[in-house]
Amino acid sequence: MLERIIEYTFKDKELLNQAITHSSYFNEKRDIRQSENEKLEYLGDAILNSVITILLYKKFKDKDEGFLSNARSCLVKRETLTEVAKAIDLPQHMFYGNGDQNVPEDSKVLSNMVEALIGAIYLDGGMRKVTRVIKNLFMPYFNLERLTEKNPKNLLQEYSQKRWSILPKYKFARKTKGGFTVIAYIGKDLKAKGMGKSKKEAEQQAARLLLQGLTETDGA
């Protein structure tokens, strides 16, 4: 049972149901609660960033703002949220529409569900309870090896400066219902498109994809 795994029991079970119900189910039922699920994601994202910031500040009092900022990015990024979702076996507890019977492996779906779950816990139990849950779920990832990992934008910048002595640039492409699209490019010909829930996340994905393409070409 999910509540036992996360060590939190909901007083309002409807909040839990909204958090773990995939949008395909709402689409199939034409249920207005889909917007409530998306609002839980929005709230959970804000709560997660705030709590992680506080936990990092308390745990690494000797570190500067640059380290703390990079560490927070490592902890709240989609890949880490996906790891958390799988660690608590979240895919097995989600509800789907008839067209989505397979357990999703898509990191966007799983990371969004983690944020929605956090938002639901906050509404149900308040800040103290959600902080305890977040601490339990994310503390396994509070290791220096992970937290000192440079973000894709920094890595791309270092690569571009070393190879061509120029900086990569980012161009905002468009905003969609699902988030933002950004293009990272070096010079005129090297480019990659990234998408994310925020411009920052979209920039990081674009940088990651562009760097991946460049390093694969170098290794070919």
CB 4 within 8 A of CB 10: no
How many Å apart are CA 80 and CA 52, to the nearest integer?
13
Nearest to 15 by CA among 124, 128, 126: 124
Active-site residue identified among 7, 38, 45, 203? 45
CA-to-CA separations, 122 to 46, 79, 82, 160, 180, in angstroms, rounded = 11, 22, 20, 42, 26
* Residues whose CB falls within 8 Å of the CB of residue 178, separated by 6 or more in sequence, listed in order: 195, 197
83 is catalytic: no
Print burial letters for 141-151: b (CB count within 10 Å at least 16), e (below 16).
Answer: bbeeeebeeeb
64 is catalytic: no
CB 51 within 8 A of CB 132: no
How many Å apart are CA 143 and CA 14, to the nearest integer?
35
Torsion of CA 25, 104, 75, 124, to 10 degrees: 30
How many Å apart are CA 91 and CA 30, to the nearest integer?
22
Active-site residue identified among 36, 115, 124, 201? 115
Q: Is 115 annotated as a binding-site member?
A: yes
Q: Is 27 annotated as a binding-site member?
A: no
Binding-site residues for Mg(2+), in ranges, read: 41, 112, 115
Residues labelled as active-site residues? 45, 115
